[in-house]
Structure 1
Amino acid sequence: MAMLHLLAPLRPRVATVNHHLRPEAEAEAAMVAQTCARLGLEHQTLHWHWDGRGNLSDAARRARRDLLAAWNPVVLLAHTQDDVAETFLMRLTRGAGVDGLAAMSPAFSHAGATFLRPFLHIPRATLRAYLTEIGAPWAEDPTNRDPHYLRARTRAALSDLPTEAIAQSARHLSEARQALDSLADLWAPKAFAEDRGTLLLRDLAGAPPETRRRLVTRALLWLAPAPYPPRGEALTRFLAALAQARPATLAGTRFDGKRLYREARSLPPDVPASQIWDARFTATAPPGATLGALGPDLPKDWRETGLPRAALASSPALRLEGRVISAPAIGVNQPETTIRPCFGEFLSLTAALSH
């Protein structure tokens, strides 16, 4: 509500997400709508209903971002300095590393929209004092006082701790994360080479351990996009397999001893050629063409490609009226058709998911 009033002179559009998880949610959305009407601002309530699958908090957060990204290309979020400190302590109790403890980003992209957090340096108490001063209402989420929730317990613990100092530590770790990412950027071309939608392992052993972890995480996310990168013992075992040139699989990606490639069983369906497929591939093709996986029907001379059969099956192909018109992995390239791997995105896929 504080951000709404502060930005009202700029005439922003306003959205409220109703997750339909609390009986008070509808009244809270109505309060925001009434405030917007009084200020002459456009308001829309976006709705989400949990399907009962997965972690509720995580599902709600991802759904909220999806809804807001579809609603407007630029979205401002009102996270405060207290949110930074609370998130730091919550992740600290889970044994998080540099990426997890780093302060939430002031800007990030999601589903084609840009999200901004302009209040990360402002204490929550300052915003409440502002609302009190102007006589504006606001709502308190009762779950923030319910000790059954980790965030509520963390918020209570913070009442006796220096919130500003904790948030500053999180910001210092953000700078450390950026430095580690920059080092990984330098190593990326040395560690991997893109080859027809697969990643050839080059010199990974020479990189520092943390850089190796970041590079392999990037590779896994580029080959098999996912909301979160693999962590813990599974990632440690996969790193050991790469170091020993041992075949291994993890998170929809297979390593055959020298290259990494997407497992065909986890691929998305075909899309119109004008769209991005598998979050990696774009194409130039005639109208009506589709972009998707080549699949198991390979030419008799497929071994001459030098790629494993499974890698070929998961490689990209263009089809028109059911016929393959472009499949770079097997040397099919009709005039005026191209498939590009968007490899540049690989260089930026690291802690980008730690929003």
Structure 2
Amino acid sequence: MRAIRLHTFGPAENLTYEEVEDPRPGPGQVRVAVRAAGVHLLDAALREGMRGPLPEPTALPTVPGREVAGVVDALGDGVDAAWLGRRVVVHLGFVPGGYAELAVADVTRLHEIPPNLDAAQAVALIGTGRTAMGIVQFAEPGPGSVVVVPAAAGGIGTLLVQYARNAGATVVGLAGGPRKTALVRANGADLAVDYTEPAWPEKVRAHLGGRPATTVFDGVGGDVAREATALLGPGGRHIVFGWSAEGLRDGTPYLVEGVSEQVLGPVMLERAGGPDPLRTLELRALAEAAAGRLAPAVHRFPLSEAAEAHRALQSRGTTGKVVLEP
């Protein structure tokens, strides 16, 4: 099979497109003929040599990627034959191997793809979608809510805008540049604003006519977070799930005491509850999409162009979830 391999930590150019041995499923596993593999900012950080949330440092050489969707084409011992030929999506967890034409996964992690979704959309939901569902747990929007979403053209931002609108909230989506703000507007935001323009907060205040924001879902940090948080009224919530404006390596979030709440990691899982919190959130995201309430935006690259996909993602040249297609 063809796959992307990383032999040395470093820049995106270190991702190489190679012929490698086909994987074989072990007991309790299936093999998936991959139709789409998700790309995450964490993948780029791991490529550069960061350990991130992994329990052990990445062993090289490796095939990166932890989110795949496709068709089950082989079964390991003990797996129900009914899985063969089914369209599935799966998050591989801490095990890499997604940037490839074939990948193996534990059968207990599989989800069948709803009929109204293609493989790339399903991949967006299994990682980005579950994160979005984890975020809204901390400030469920509803009628009367005024929600501000920085980076509203991104994978998570797109879903947060849709979710809040479907819940009856007024939604302000922020994005960088006219192309991205047009996408945010088309995605259903009541107001789409270019946060690279100096007077953008005044545009938001004028549109709201004096109404304060009730929630800021913030994955950006920096000056955008500072100005967005200033739009909140008494009792408003600043839900922090990232700080991309400050960089992955040395950045820190923008936080306001008594207003801001960081929600990534164990905090999100504790809120989700149940014996398998991640699966709970995955199921919720897929159910929302199956019902037509979430429609993830996807930015597609051929598998062979994984390096370009990483460069585009890190330079904010993408919209929606970045996906590789073999």
TM range (shorter): under 0.3
Structure having greater relative contact order (Cα 8 Å, sep ≥ 6): 2
TM-score for both structures, normalised by structure 1? 0.25
Higher strand share: 2
The TM-score, its normalising length taken from structure 2, stands at 0.26
Look at both structures and tell me which one has the larger radius of gyration over its CA atoms.
Answer: 1
Higher helix share: 1
